[in-house]
Structure formats: structure tokens, C-alpha cells
Amino acid sequence: GQNIDQPTEMTATEGAIVQINCTYQTSGFNGLFWYQQHAGEAPTFLSYNVLDGLEEKGRFSSFLSRSKGYSYLLLKELQMKDSASYLCAVDTGGYNKLIFGAGTRLAVHP
């Protein structure tokens, strides 16, 4: 079967750094996506990793280890507007192409 695990909730302080982990066990792997979703809104794309290593994009970075089935999203210099759900999704390359995790709800407080 397909399995993607993320912590359900996290809290962090404004200005701090937070790391959101994602582990996956899927029948195939063509890359891993991170999406941000504010309450009541559509998911928006943050990052894509297909090779091992770190991808940096401004305040957000994403890391992938394919051998460990592991990824993390790193958010630096947290702002209140970063309070949202963060969805990890794996492109399985198969029949059900993009599988999403349940998401991690991040609350940033002053």
C-alpha cells in the first residue's frame, strides 16, 4: 500500500525555525512535493525534490533522502502568515499518481 506520514500539529514562535518531517512508503517514486494550505483555501506549491539533497528557496528549504523514504520542509524566520497546513505529496508514477499525506497544521505565535 501507499503510506505518507507527517506530524499532525506543530507550534513555533515568530522569528524561529521549524522543521516539518515526512516519511513515505510508496510503490513508486517520481518526486516529492510540499504544498502550503491556509484554512479554507487551495493548496499552493512550495517545493519539489526528486534527487537527494537540499533545495533552498528563500525562507523555505526542502530536503530529500530517497534511501530513507524521508523528507523535511524547513521554514526559517517564521512569520505569523506561515500559520497553515503543510502537505507532503509523493508522485508515485503509477495509477494513483500523486498521493498526499494528511498534512501538518503549523501554528506560529508571537
Partner 1 sequence: EAGVVQSPRYKIIEKKQPVAFWCNPISGHNTLYWYRQNLGQGPELLIRYENEEAVDDSQLPKDRFSAERLKGVDSTLKIQPAELGDSAVYLCASSLRQGNTEAFFGQGTRLTVV
Question: 36 vs 69, which CB is nearer to partner 1?
Answer: 36
Q: Does 41 bind partner 1 (CB under 8 A)?
A: yes
All 3 cell numbers of residue 89? 505529496
For residues 93 and 90, what is the distance between their CA atoms, to the nearest angstrom? 9
Query: Closest distance between partner 1 and the C-beta of residue 81, in Å?
Result: 18
CB burial readout 36-75, b (16+ within 10 A) else e = beeeeeebeebbebeeeeeeeeeebbbbbeeeebebbbeb
Terminal-residue alpha carbon distance, the chain: 41
Q: In angstroms, what is the minimal distance from the CB of 110 to partner 1? A: 25
Binding of residue 1 to partner 1 (CB under 8 A): no
Residue of 33, 78, 84, 106 interacting with partner 1 (CB under 8 A): 33
**Binding track, positions 64-103, relative to partner 1; x by CB under 8 A:** -----------------------x-x-x-x-xxxxxxxxx
Left, alpha or beta for 66 (phi > 0: left; psi -120 to 50: alpha)? alpha
Binding site for partner 1 (CB under 8 A): 4, 30-31, 33, 41-45, 48, 50, 87, 89, 91, 93, 95-103
